Structure formats: C-alpha cells, structure tokens
C-alpha cells in the first residue's frame, strides 16, 4: 500500500527533494507562474508549456492538465482573474495530483 505525503512548507519540500535525489529519483517542477509573470493569459499556451516540460522527461505521462474557474471548475480560455490549474501526472508508477491558483 502506498502512502501519500502532503508537503506544506518549502523546508519540507527541500528536505524531501534532497532525500529523493539521494536515492537517484527525478523531481520535476512545472514553472507555470513564470508564464503569468511575463503577461501570458492564454490558458492553452500555459497548458502547452507545462505539457512540453513534463513530456521532456521520458518517465512521465500526463493524465490531465486544465485551467479552470476555481468556484465552478468550468475551463477558462483566458486568465483574467484567479484561475485553478489542476494536473495529474504519472511519474513511473506513481500518479501525482496537484493544483494551484494562478493569479494575474
């Protein structure tokens, strides 16, 4: 049985990353917020950039990536107000699910 650990702090993430690297594991971070800081508001372009980065690691496969309204979960085309980016990615046999609020 797998145990899912939820990480709430940067210090804990750094510790986890150090331990994982010590075991030879690969860790992938998706720099989505960088696209917003450059002024990009097209959800499809942000999803494509995240997808391209994830796919560049052969041990990954994407189940889904979506940008949607955080209250209704309707997909959005243009990020004009805070939006929810949700994704599920398999790294090897592990399925990782994450979401974050994208702020304009």
Number of neighbouring beta carbons within 10 Å of residue 50: 20
Give the pLDDT confidence score for residue 7 in this predicted structure: 64
- Residue range 10-102, CATH number: 3.30.1300.10
Question: What is the domain partition of the chain in residue ranges?
Answer: 10-102
How does pLDDT run across 42-70, given as a tens digit for each residue?
A: 999 989 988 988 888 888 899 999 999 99
d(CA 17, CA 37): 25
Give the pLDDT confidence score for residue 1 in this predicted structure: 41
More confident residue, 38 or 2: 38
Give the pLDDT confidence score for residue 82 in this predicted structure: 92
Arithmetic mean of pLDDT, 15-30: 68
Of residues 102, 96, 100, 67, the one with CA closest to residue 4:
96
């Amino acid at each position: 049985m797998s145990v899912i650990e939820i990480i709430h702090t940067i210090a804990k993430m750094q510790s986890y990353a150090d331990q994982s690297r010590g075991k030879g594991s690969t860790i992938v971070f998706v720099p989505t917020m960088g696209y917003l800081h450059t002024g990009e508001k097209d959800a499809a372009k942000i999803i494509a950039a995240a997808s391209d980065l994830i796919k560049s690691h052969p041990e990954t496969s994407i189940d889904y990536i979506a940008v949607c309204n955080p209250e209704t979960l309707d997909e959005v085309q243009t990020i004009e107000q805070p939006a929810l980016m949700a994704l599920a990615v398999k790294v090897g046999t592990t399925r990782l699910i994450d979401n974050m609020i994208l702020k304009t």
